[in-house]
Amino acid sequence: MLENEIICYLNFLREEKRSPETTLNSYSKDLEFFAQYTEEHNVAYLKITKEEIRAYLKYLDNLKYSKNSVSRYLSTLRGFYSFLIREGKVQSNPFKIIKNPKKEKKLPNFLQPDELNQIFDTIDISTDLGLRNRLIVELLYATGVRLSELTSISLQNIDTSANVIRILGKGNKERIVYFGDYAEKYLIQYLEDVRPRLLQDKSNQFLLLNKNGNPLTNRGVQQIVDKIVQTAALKHHISPHVLRHTFATDLLNNGADLKSVQELLGHASLSTTQIYTHITNERLRSVYLNAFPRQDEK
């Protein structure tokens, strides 16, 4: 049954590929949706044809799924059918001959300096949880790490003498990120004073802990950031990923080269990082138009 194959595939990704839970949750939803479709439309998934795949894509289009979402569904199914080949269930991968729709380029949302300062100033660092929360925001902005990477940081990954953290990113790829004086200040205070109190009599190596001494989850960090943003009374939605976008944008605006930013973000392809140049180019254009004297007055 397709449901059993999906469970086996997710276990394979978890145990052998060590895929993060966020990725597994996303794949699970995509594959469950596909399983429901095949059942409702009498599609034999082991013998699915090119025409049936196109009908499925048309179905997604009718449901108003974005091109980016459709691309994600296709990528998920390509991986799943490659697994079915490995297991000897199918002879070929029918999704490999289907091209992804052209992705919609959406400029990343990022924070202006005054908005970033407003977030920092909102956090009450007089309490243990408040100082931990300040550290969370400082690290997200200072390092540009993904949410799942932040919650996975363990004590042995951190070198406070060199201000570096070893990160295990997508595809099990390791990289080094750096943090500056502000993050260092709150990190050391957290490690020396706050974390031991949060840990109580428990034992674990994760950097970020909740009030019960357990590792903070992705959802927990998201809720913390949501509450900080709400208190700061900012008008637009800000997620941990927006701080990652702000990190990359600020680096480029201050002269960092694209290749270095790619490595710091852990992007596999330079083309993924290039979207940030659209933001910095718009800023340069604005500076030029405001500063260049030979402009028509309108």
Amino acid at 274: Q
* Distance of alpha carbon 65 from alpha carbon 134, whole angstroms: 37
Active site residue 182: no
- Asked whether the CA dihedral 70, 76, 77, 78 is positive or negative, the reply is positive
Q: Within 13 A of 222's CA, how many CA atoms are on the CB side?
A: 10
* Distance of alpha carbon 117 from alpha carbon 156, whole angstroms: 30
Name the catalytic one among 146, 185, 190, 227: 146
| 165 in Cβ contact with 153 (< 8 Å) | yes
- Closest Cα to residue 252, out of 220, 227, 274, 222? 274
* Distance of alpha carbon 148 from alpha carbon 128, whole angstroms: 22
| DSSP H stretches of helix in the chain | 2-15, 21-40, 50-62, 67-86, 113-122, 128-143, 147-151, 181-189, 195-199, 218-232, 240-253, 258-265, 270-273, 275-291
Active site residue 170: yes
Name the catalytic one among 67, 72, 170, 175: 170
Active site residue 47: no
Name the catalytic one among 134, 195, 244, 245: 244
* Distance of alpha carbon 187 from alpha carbon 158, whole angstroms: 10
Active site residue 146: yes
How far is the CA of 201 from the CAs of 156, 177, 197, in angstroms?
20, 31, 9
> Which residue has 């034999």 as its token pair?
44
Name the catalytic one among 27, 56, 141, 276: 276
Name the catalytic one among 67, 166, 175, 267: 267
Question: What amino acid positions are annotated as catalytic residues?
Answer: 146, 170, 241, 244, 267, 276
